[in-house]
Structure 1
Amino acid sequence: MKKFTSLKSIPAYLPIVNIDTDMIIPKQFLKTIKRTGLGKNLFHEMRYDDDGKNIDNFILNKSPYNNSKILIAGNNFGCGSSREHAPWALLDFGITCVISSSYADIFYNNCFKNGILPIILDEEKIKELAEYSKRKEEIEINLKEEKILFGNNELKFKIDPFKKKCLIEGLDDIALSLEKSSHINEFEKKVKSARPWIFND
């Protein structure tokens, strides 16, 4: 997992509430277990018409938002089923930070496990940032200091210290387990010595 410390981008503003994981990545694209290749199908039903052509007025089909790394969304983002393909699709498209007033719990936690920073702000602050999106101006996310910089202004946000550490150090669940490999090996040695029959072929 890539380390996350700071990020600059023109944010894409998608002011739709209750965007569920099926809207983020529809069920027909869930056959893969790979984390790559899903970006082209992100928000598929909103991005493409019945013939597979781009819907020009959808935000992520417009320049410069088609290169946005930050998505500003409506409240209750990521509700619905618990599919991990949703953060995979966002990440594969290039989005590494989502800003919303609330998230579904499972989606929120899955973001951290995949290198995406989900920021929670109240609606008034989100409206402030949305103006910078409309003006096609960059904002900056500083995770270490837990703040968003835009123009001459800044907004503070809060993040769980452990989740913050994982993002900054690029630690997913596997990496966290590997950090304890010496303890795991020591435990296995003790078990093998005390109960050798467990390890017999």
Structure 2
Amino acid sequence: MTPLVRVDAIAAPLMRDNIDTDAIIPSREMKSVSKTGLSGGLFAGWRYRGSSGREPDPAFVLNDPRFAEAEILVTGANFGCGSSREHAVWALAEYGFRVVIASSFSPIFQGNCVRNGVAPVVLPDDVCDILAGLATEGARIAVDLETMTVSAAGQRWSFALEDEPRLMLMEGLDAIELTRKGQARITAFRAADAQARPWVYLEN
């Protein structure tokens, strides 16, 4: 994955609470088991209209030219609730979002974000409202994982992220790569255990 240390970008405001994974990527849009080919179905139920099901709805934020290059999504509480489908994060990432800012996340969705290089940033409701307003006015938002801050228009707010998710995001690690960082300890343990319990190990 691409390391994520700092993002300074346009943000798209989508201030709705309880956006579930079926709204993020409807099941009818999940036509592949890979991580690609999903961005077109992102928020499809809100993004499109018309008999073809693919006519952009100009009222939806992602169809607003001001937010065409958005890499940050600012949204409401309990984002990513519903089913545990990882496709929801895959669709967000393929579309170009590196950060989602919300007042709370579904725990499973939050974990899926980290494992796929998207930073889930939790800030209070009133701060999310401020950021959404600034985004609407065209202000860029900066998210910095080194300083653990979000800043925009001369204002700054701190957020919390546990050490392991922060490391995974900043170094672009998936769960397997994170485990491999402990390879020396794993090897040492195996060698010591082979001495203590040789009957457990097959002979070469």
Give TM-score scaled by structure 1 length.
0.90
Which residue number corresponds to residue 68 of structure 2?
A: 66
Q: Structure 2 matches for 1:94-173, cutoff 5 A?
A: 94-173=96-175
- State the AA in 2 paired with 1:33: V
Aligned partners of 1:139, 1:164: CA distance in 2, in Å? 19
Q: How far 1:194 moved relative to its partner?
A: 3.4
CA separation of 1:196/1:127 partners in 2, compared to 1, >3 Å: closer, same or farther? closer
Q: How far 1:44 moved relative to its partner?
A: 0.7
Q: Does 1:194 align with 2:198?
A: yes
Which residue number corresponds to residue 28 of structure 2?
A: 28
Q: Secondary structure at the match of 2:135?
A: helix
Q: How far 1:143 moved relative to its partner?
A: 1.1
| RMSD, aligned CA | 2.2
Q: Does 1:88 align with 2:79?
A: no
Q: Secondary structure at the match of 1:67?
A: coil
CA separation of 1:120/1:197 partners in 2, compared to 1, >3 Å: closer, same or farther? closer
CA deviation map 1:114-171 (0-9, x unaligned):
1111111111111111121111111111111011111111111111122111111111
CA separation of 1:65/1:199 partners in 2, compared to 1, >3 Å: closer, same or farther? farther
- State the AA in 1 paired with 2:9: S
The count of aligned residue pairs is 200
- State the AA in 2 paired with 1:89: A
Is the 1:59–1:66 contact (alpha carbons within 8 Å) kept by the matching residues of 2? no
Q: How far 1:182 moved relative to its partner?
A: 4.7
Q: How far 1:97 moved relative to its partner?
A: 0.4
Q: Secondary structure at the match of 1:57?
A: coil
Q: How far 1:190 moved relative to its partner?
A: 6.9
CA separation of 1:178/1:161 partners in 2, compared to 1, >3 Å: closer, same or farther? closer
Task: Name stretches of at least 5 consecutive residues in structure 2 with no aligned partner.
Answer: none
- State the AA in 1 paired with 2:175: D
CA deviation map 1:89-118 (0-9, x unaligned):
000000010011111110011111111111
Q: Secondary structure at the match of 2:55?
A: coil
Aligned partners of 2:163, 2:179: CA distance in 1, in Å? 18
Aligned partners of 2:103, 2:121: CA distance in 1, in Å? 8
CA deviation map 1:170-199 (0-9, x unaligned):
1111211332345556638976x9359847
Give TM-score scaled by structure 2 length.
0.89
CA deviation map 1:1-28 (0-9, x unaligned):
1111100112100111110000001112
